[in-house]
Structure 1
Amino acid sequence: MINDKVLSIILGGGQGTRLYPLTESRSKPAVPIAGKYRLVDIPISNCINSDIKRMFVLTQFNSASLNRHIKNTYHFSFFSSAFVDVLAAEQTPGNKGWFQGTADAVRQSMHHFLRHDFEYALILSGDQLYQMDFNEMIQAHIDAKAEISIATIPVTEKDATSFGILKTDDHNVITSFIEKPATELLLDWKSNTSKEMKKQKKNHLASMGIYIFNRDLLIDLMKDEKNIDFGKEIIPQAISNHKTLSYQFEGYWTDIGSIDSFFDANLGLTNDIPEFNLYDSKQRVYTNARILPTSKISGTLLEKAVIAEGCIISAAKIEKSVIGIRSRIGKESTVINTYMMGNDEYESLESMEKRKPEVLKGIGERCFIKNTIIDKNVCIGDDVRINGGAHLKDEETENYVIKDGVVVIKKNAVIPKGFSL
C-alpha cells in the first residue's frame, strides 16, 4: 500500500508571536480550537483518515501541554507500527542551536526519521484548518514521477500578495515561484485553474505549505545548512533542478497564524453550513476522548451557537459563539461573537466552600461579552462588560490583550466584578 511508504512530518512552527497571548504558555499546535480540539488534531486527523499512521510533530516552544495531549490522545495497537511522536528541539554534539526555520527543523530531526523505512516524506504545517485526502496527492506525485509535490490552492489577486505564488505548465509541473509578490507583478503570475475557481476570480496558485519529497532527494537537499526554510530557499532553488508538481486543492483551507484568522475560523463554525465540516463521518477530527457529562442549559436563547460537552449555562443569550468544554455562564449574561475555550477541570462545591473565591471559573451573572476570545480557566465576575471591536486600540495588560479589535482574555486571568472595557 502507498500509505506504508509515507512518513508524515508535522511542523509545529516557531514561537507563535502572532497568536500571542494564546501561545504564552503553550506551543502553536497545542492551542485549543472549536471548543474541544487542539490545532495539532487537524493534520494528525487528516493523516489518520488517509491511513498514514507514522507521524512526527516537530516543536521547540512550550511543548509540555502538546506532549501531554498527544500522549493522552493517540493510542494505536501494540502490534501496529503506527505512532505520533513529538520531537522537541534538542542539542546534540553536532548541533547546539534551536530550529532556525522549517527546513532546519527537518534537518536537525533527520536522524530520527531515517530510523524508519519510507519512500516519501509528507511535510505538513501544524497551524492550518482543512480536510484533505493525502492519498490523492501522493498518487498524483507517483503518477507524475515527481520528485517534489506542493499542495496549492487558487486565490484571488488580493490574497496572492500574502502567499508564495507558483506558475505551472500544462502538466501541472511548477516552472517558477515567487514569495509574497507585489500587486503590480501579479499579472505575470496567473495559472490555469478550474472553471469554478475562475468564476471566483481565483487565478493564482498559492503554496499551502504542504509538501511531498522523495526520501533520497530530501536527504540530499538537507546537506546545505545555509538553506533553513522550505518556502524561502529549498523550494525556489529545487524547482529548476527537480521535477516539482503542483497538486491543486479546492476545498476549505485557512492558515491560522494570527489572532484575527484564529477568531474568524472559530466563529465560522457557527454558520448553518460551515466551510470546515466537523460533521463529516469520512473526514473525522480526532481528539482526546474525555469522559464528560452532557451540557446543561437553562433559560438561554441560543442563536448560531456551538456548545461543547460538560457545560453549565444559565445565560440570557448566546449568539454566534463557540463555548468550550466545562464552561460555566451565569444568569442574565449575554455572549456574542465570542470563543470561550472552557476549563481544564471542574471545581467541587466543597473546594469552593473552603476557598470562598470572590470570582468563580467561567462567566458570572449579568455580564455582556462581545468580540472576545476567553482562554482556558478564566474567572469573570458578575456585571462585567467587555465590548470588543474596531473602536478599541491595541493594548496589553496583565489580564488581557487587544489585537485588531479582538479582546483576548489571558489563560487563568481573573476579571473582577463590575469591570468594563
Structure 2
Amino acid sequence: MAGDKVLSIILGGGQGSRLYPLTHARSKPAVPIAGKYRLVDIPISNCINSDIKRMYVLTQFNSASLNRHIKNTYSFSFFSSAFVDVLAAEQTPDNKGWFQGTADAVRQSMHHFLRHDFDYALILSGDQLYQMDFNEMVKAHKKAKAKISIATIPVNAKDATSFGILKSDDKNQITSFIEKPDASLLPDWTSEVSDEMKGEGRNYLASMGIYIFNRELLIELMSNPDTIDFGKEIIPQAINNHKTLSYQYEGYWTDIGNIDSFFEANLGLTDDIPKFDLYDKSKRIYTRARMLPTTKISGTSLNKTVIAEGCIVSAAKIDHSVIGIRSRIGDESTIINTYMMGSDFYQNLDEINDPNSIPIGIGKRCFIKNAIIDMNCCIGDDVRINGGDHLEDVETDTHVVKDGIVVLKKAVTIPNGTVI
C-alpha cells in the first residue's frame, strides 16, 4: 500500500490575516467550514481516504483550538502506527524564532519527521477545499521515477496571474516556473491539457501547493537555511536540478485565502449538485463525532439551505445559506446568503429567557443578508444586517466589512434593533 511509505505534512499557514477576523482567536486550519467541519479536516480526510495515516500539522499562531479539535477527533487504534500530531513552532538551541515560511516550517520540524520510516513526504496546505486520491499521485510519481511531484490544476488566463504557473513537456515533466505572471507573458506559458480543459480555456498549469518529495532529496534541500519558502524558492530552484513531475488534477479545488473565497466556497455547498461533494461515500470528510440531537424546524420556508445538527429554527425564511451546529433562529427572521457558524454549547432555558441578556443565536424579526456569523454570537431582536457592494470596508468592535460581506466577530453581542 502506497500509504505505508508516505508521511504527510500539513502546513497550517501564517497568521491568516486575509481571513481576519475569523483568524483572530484561532489558526487558519481551525476555522469552521460547512456548518460542522474545520478547514484542517479536508487535508486530513483526503489522507485517510488515501490510506495515508501518519500526519503532522504545522502551526504557530493561536493553535489551542486546533490542538483541541485534533485531539478530540482523530483517535486511531493503539495497535496501528496511525497518528495526527500538531507541531507548533518551538524554540530549540538551533531555532530561536517563528517559522519564516513554508520550507522553514518543514526544516524546523525535520527532527520529528526523521524519526519515522518513510520514502515520500507529501506536503499539503491546510486551507484548501478539494477531494483527491493521493495514491494516484504517489503512483504517478514512482512510475516517472521523479524526485519531486507537484499537483497542478489547469486555470484560465484571468486566474493564471494569481498563481505560480508551471510549464510541462509531453511527458508531464516540469521545465520552468513563473510566480504570478503578468498577463502579457501568458502566451508563452501554455501547457498540454485535456480537451475538456482546452474547451474551457484552461490552458495554464497552476501549482496547487501540493508536493511529493523523495525523502533523501527533502533532507538535502532542507539543509540550506537560506531557502524559506517552497513556492517562491525551493520549487523554482529544484526544477533545473531534479526531475519534477506535474500531476494534473481536474476536479474541484479552491484556495480559501480570503473572506470572499471562503464565503463563496461555503455558500457553494447549497447548490443542487455542489462542486465539493460531501455526499460521496468514497470521499468522506471526517470531523469530530458530536452526540447532537436532530434539528428542529418550525414554520420556516427553506430554499437552497444546508442545516447542521442540533439546531432550533423558527425563522420565516432561510435562503441560500449554511446554518451551523446548535444554531438558534427566532420567529419571523429572514436569513439570505449567510453562513452562520453556530454555537459551541447550548444555553439552558433560564439563560435564554433572561430579560437582562441576549441569548446565543439570532433573535426575532431579524433580517440578515450577505453575512458570516462567527461562533457563539448573540444577535438581539429586530436586528438588520444588509451586506453588499454598497458597504465600504470597515472594522468596528463587533464586526468587519470586507468586499461587501459583513463578518460578525466571534461571541459578540448585537443589541436589539441594531442596523448594519
With normalisation by structure 1, the TM-score equals 0.99
Q: Secondary structure at the match of 1:4?
A: helix
Per the alignment, residue 365 of structure 2 pairs with 366
What's the CA shift string for 1:264-303, capped at 9, x where partnerless?
0000000000000000000000000000000000000000
Structure 2 distance, partners of 1:411, 1:294, is 24
What's the CA shift string for 1:231-254, capped at 9, x where partnerless?
000000000000000000000000
Counterparts of 1:369-388 in structure 2, within 5 Å, are: 369-388=368-387
Per the alignment, residue 410 of structure 1 pairs with 409
Tell me how far 1:352 sits from its aligned partner: 4.3
Per the alignment, residue 344 of structure 1 pairs with 344
Per the alignment, residue 399 of structure 1 pairs with 398
Per the alignment, residue 142 of structure 2 pairs with 142
2:90 paired with 1:95: no
Q: Secondary structure at the match of 1:282?
A: helix
Q: Return 5+ residue gaps in structure 1 as ranges.
A: none
Tell me how far 1:349 sits from its aligned partner: 1.5
Structure 2 distance, partners of 1:153, 1:95, is 35
Per the alignment, residue 163 of structure 2 pairs with 163
Per the alignment, residue 265 of structure 2 pairs with 265
Per the alignment, residue 3 of structure 2 pairs with 3
Q: Which runs of 4+ in 1 moved over 2 A?
A: 350-353, 355-358
Structure 2 letter corresponding to 1:287? T
What's the CA shift string for 1:289-343, capped at 9, x where partnerless?
0000000000000000000000000000000000000000000000000000000
Per the alignment, residue 28 of structure 2 pairs with 28
Per the alignment, residue 288 of structure 2 pairs with 288
Per the alignment, residue 315 of structure 2 pairs with 315
Counterparts of 1:201-280 in structure 2, within 5 Å, are: 201-280=201-280
Tell me how far 1:356 sits from its aligned partner: 4.3
Tell me how far 1:351 sits from its aligned partner: 4.0
Structure 1 distance, partners of 2:18, 2:189, is 28
Counterparts of 1:23-172 in structure 2, within 5 Å, are: 23-172=23-172
Structure 2 distance, partners of 1:54, 1:368, is 46
What's the CA shift string for 1:80-123, capped at 9, x where partnerless?
00000000000000110100000000000000000000000000
Structure 2 distance, partners of 1:139, 1:92, is 37
Structure 2 distance, partners of 1:142, 1:322, is 41
Structure 2 letter corresponding to 1:268? G
Q: Secondary structure at the match of 2:100?
A: coil
Tell me how far 1:350 sits from its aligned partner: 3.5
Is the contact made by 2:352 and 2:358 (CA closer than 8 Å) also made in structure 1? Answer: no
Structure 2 distance, partners of 1:305, 1:247, is 35
2:165 paired with 1:173: no
Counterparts of 1:189-208 in structure 2, within 5 Å, are: 189-208=189-208
What's the CA shift string for 1:133-190, capped at 9, x where partnerless?
0000000000000000000000000000000000001100000000000000000000
Structure 2 letter corresponding to 1:392? L
Is the contact made by 2:14 and 2:60 (CA closer than 8 Å) also made in structure 1? Answer: yes
Check 1:9–1:357 CA distance in 2 against 1; reply closer, same or farther (3 A cut): farther
What's the CA shift string for 1:213-244, capped at 9, x where partnerless?
00000000011111000000000000000000
Structure 2 letter corresponding to 1:359? I
Structure 1 distance, partners of 2:169, 2:308, is 47
Per the alignment, residue 330 of structure 2 pairs with 330
Tell me how far 1:3 sits from its aligned partner: 1.0
Structure 2 distance, partners of 1:143, 1:339, is 44
Tell me how far 1:2 sits from its aligned partner: 1.5
2:300 paired with 1:300: yes
Check 1:398–1:89 CA distance in 2 against 1; reply closer, same or farther (3 A cut): same
Tell me how far 1:124 sits from its aligned partner: 0.1
Q: Secondary structure at the match of 1:267?
A: helix
Is the contact made by 2:60 and 2:98 (CA closer than 8 Å) also made in structure 1? Answer: yes
Q: Secondary structure at the match of 2:151?
A: strand
Structure 2 distance, partners of 1:147, 1:125, is 20
What's the CA shift string for 1:335-387, capped at 9, x where partnerless?
0000000000001114445x544311100000000000000000000000000
Structure 1 distance, partners of 2:11, 2:352, is 41
Tell me how far 1:420 sits from its aligned partner: 0.6
Is the contact made by 2:299 and 2:314 (CA closer than 8 Å) also made in structure 1? Answer: yes
Structure 1 distance, partners of 2:271, 2:367, is 22
Structure 1 distance, partners of 2:193, 2:60, is 37
Aligned residues: 420
Structure 2 distance, partners of 1:255, 1:188, is 25
Structure 1 distance, partners of 2:14, 2:119, is 27
Structure 1 letter corresponding to 2:387? G
Structure 2 letter corresponding to 1:308? A
Percent of aligned pairs with the same amino acid: 77
Structure 2 distance, partners of 1:364, 1:28, is 29
Structure 2 distance, partners of 1:282, 1:133, is 10
Q: Secondary structure at the match of 2:282?
A: coil
